[in-house]
Structure 1
Amino acid sequence: MHKTGLYYGSLAIVLAANLGYHLVSRSIPVGGNQFLGIAGAYLLASVLCFLAGVLTRKGPLLKEWKETPLHYLLFGLFVPGLEAGFILMYHNGWQVSQGALVADILTSTLLAVVGVALFHDRLAGINWVGILLCFAGVIMVAL
């Protein structure tokens, strides 16, 4: 696979957004209704995504909307748990340097197993060694 600018550019976007996400999540003060706060965040995100969709569309808006896979709606089932979970982690004592690291490594480890089991991803022996080392690292970080 030829690695284009989008290959690395998309990683840069994820890294920047993830960094901002965790810094903001960690700085949210205790108090107020976190679910209403998250709803406000998603209202802003919805407006921004809609505007980006309008600006990047290749055809009529309604046609593109109808062709959009329903899978995007499934995000709505999981995103509130992700948001509330990280906020709760930080409010209950997880340090920003450890909480995200532990959660992301455990998620990545689970996704590796799911990828092999459900999507027939192929991992070499050295990949499994790396996964075991990551798991050992989680234990050391979380202690």
Structure 2
Amino acid sequence: MSDIWPIVLIVASNILYQICAKSVPKDMDVMASMTVTYLVGAVCSGLMFFAMNRTPHLLQECSKLNAAPILLGISVVGLEVGYIYAYKVGWPVSIASTVQSAFLAVALIFVGALLYNETITPQKVIGVMICLAGLYLINR
């Protein structure tokens, strides 16, 4: 069970995320919404950092910084802005997430092979074909 909780957290958070992204007022500027989102996120992250560490030394942790957290921040903004705009232009919540997930699954097979030496197996190729067939069917 200890291996499952992160996936449960991701799924539950993603459900709330999709509902909230779809609920951003259409007449609200996306970047204003993002500013509030990240202020709340920064406060929550800071509180959790201090609550979860017996001897929290934020500056000491920041000294370990590499490009990954910076690029992660940029990518998360891209994800959120993309979803909010997708919903503003009319994508259904049930379709937008499914379409991006299928494309992401296909792309990550190649990313895994190129960057992490993961093997592309016949089963993965079949999975790619199923994802693409699913995209075709869901968009009909």
- TM-score relative to the length of structure 2: 0.90
CA RMSD of aligned residues (A): 1.6
CA distance in 1, matches of 2:93, 2:136: 16
CA distance in 2, matches of 1:130, 1:47: 40
Identity %: 24
CA distance in 2, matches of 1:98, 1:71: 30
State the AA in 1 paired with 2:96.
Answer: G
**Contact 1:57 1:64 (C-alpha < 8 Å) held by counterparts:** no
Q: Which runs of 4+ in 1 moved over 3 A?
A: none
Name the SS of the counterpart of 1:30 in structure 2.
coil
- 2:96 aligned with 1:90: no
> Which of 95, 98, 102 lines up with 2:99 in the alignment?
102
CA distance in 2, matches of 1:53, 1:95: 36
**Contact 1:25 1:90 (C-alpha < 8 Å) held by counterparts:** yes
Task: Assess, with a 3 A threshold, how the Cα gap between structure 1 residues 27 and 60 changes in structure 2: closer, same or farther.
Answer: closer
CA distance in 1, matches of 2:94, 2:8: 19
State the AA in 1 paired with 2:137.
Answer: M
**Contact 1:25 1:86 (C-alpha < 8 Å) held by counterparts:** yes
Structure 1 regions of 5+ residues with no counterpart?
none
CA distance in 2, matches of 1:57, 1:112: 35
- 2:52 aligned with 1:47: no
- 2:78 aligned with 1:81: yes
Q: Deviations over 1:3-36 (max 9, x none)?
A: x51x210000000001100011112221121111
**Contact 2:50 2:56 (C-alpha < 8 Å) held by counterparts:** no
Offset of 1:108 from its aligned partner? 1.6
**Number of residues paired by the alignment?**
139
Offset of 1:49 from its aligned partner? 0.5
Offset of 1:65 from its aligned partner? 2.9
CA distance in 2, matches of 1:136, 1:16: 27
Residue 68 (structure 2) aligns with: 71
CA distance in 2, matches of 1:132, 1:54: 46
Structure 2 regions of 5+ residues with no counterpart?
none
Offset of 1:70 from its aligned partner? 3.9
Residue 121 (structure 1) aligns with: 118
